[in-house]
Homo-oligomer: A and B are copies of this chain.
C-alpha cells in the first residue's frame, strides 16, 4: 500500500467491492422501476485465527473498517502489532495476523461479552472509561467554513443518492473533504474513518467530523477519541450525545442542511461570519 507518511503500515489487501447493486421493483402503479440498492455483506474477523465478530458492511473499505474496529474496541492499541489484514469475500472473512499475538485477548473479549451490544454495536463500557482521559482543544469554527463544507459534502453523497439506505461520514479540514466513507451502519463508517486516521497517524485537532447520521452518545464518544473537537450532522442530537459533548467541550452542530444549522453546544466557538439574509429567517421559532 502506498504511504504518504513515514508511519508503519501493515500489509493490507485492497478488497473493496461495489457499493450498490441494480434492482427492479414494482411501484404503486404496478409498473417496474429500475434502480439500485445498497450492498450489505457479512464479514467475519479472525484475529490470529480466532473468530472474533461478524460485521455487516457495505464492503467498500473493509480493511479500514477492520483497522478502525480493532482500534476502537481496544483489541489492538499499536499499529505495529499488525502484520497483515487479508479480506477474502469468497469466504466472507478477514484474517488479521499479528506479530506476537494479542496480550490479554481472552480478558478483552470477556469484557466485550458484558458490555457490547445494542449501543449500536460498540463496547460502550470501555469507551466510557476512557473518556476521562480525553481533552480536546478549543477551536473556532467559521460559519462560512460550515457552509463551504456542506457545499462540498453535497457532491459526495453518491451511494446514498444512488441506492439510499446508507450513512455517510466525512473527515474535513477547512472546507476540504479529506475522506468520505459510506456504510450501511454509521458505526462502520466512523470506524473506517478511525482506521484511516490510525493508519496515517492523522491528527484530529484541526478537523471537523461530518455525519449524515444522528449524534448519539456513541458517535460523540468515538469522534472525541479521534481527537476531533467539532461535530457536524445533517440529522438530530440525542440527550446523551449532547451531555457528553458538553462534558468534553465538543462543538456540536446538527440539522445542518443548505443554509440551516443548529448549534447545540459550543456556540461560543462559532464565528458567525456568514449570516444569511434576514428575510430567509423562518417565522416559527419552536423548531430546534
Contacts and interface: CB of A to CB of B under 8 A. Distances in A.
A6 interface: no
A217 interface: yes
Interface string A213-248: 011111000000000000000011111111000000
A124 B42 contact: yes
A127 B30 CA distance: 33
Contacts of A53: 114-118
A181 to B, nearest CB: 14
A25 B115 contact: no
Contacts of A69: 118
Most buried by B among A35, A55, A69: A35
Interface string A261-287: 111100100101001101001000111
B40 A239 contact: yes
Interface residues of A, number: 84
Interface in A24-55: 24-31, 33-42, 51-55
Contacts of A33: 262, 285-288
B239 A21 contact: yes
A98 to B, nearest CB: 18
A34 B285 contact: yes
Contacts of A267: 26, 30
B52 A214 contact: no
A56 interface: yes
A38 B238 CA distance: 5
Contact of A35 (B114, B241, B286): B286
A93 interface: no
Contacts of A242: 23, 37
B278 A29 contact: yes
Contacts of A270: 26, 30
Nearest to A55: B118
B288 A217 contact: no
A55 B286 contact: no
Nearest to A262: B25
Given A113-B116, A117-B121, 12 more contacts: A25-B254, A28-B276, A29-B272, A29-B281, A52-B114, A54-B115, A55-B119, A56-B124, A56-B217, A69-B118, A109-B113, A121-B121
A-B pairs, top 7 by smallest CB distance, nearest first, are: A35-B288, A164-B236, A165-B236, A40-B238, A118-B121, A40-B240, A25-B262
26 contacts: A23-B237, A25-B254, A27-B262, A28-B259, A28-B261, A30-B267, A33-B262, A33-B285, A33-B287, A34-B288, A54-B117, A54-B124, A55-B118, A56-B124, A56-B218, A112-B113, A116-B117, A118-B121, A118-B185, A118-B188, A119-B121, A163-B236, A164-B236, A165-B216, A165-B238, A184-B238
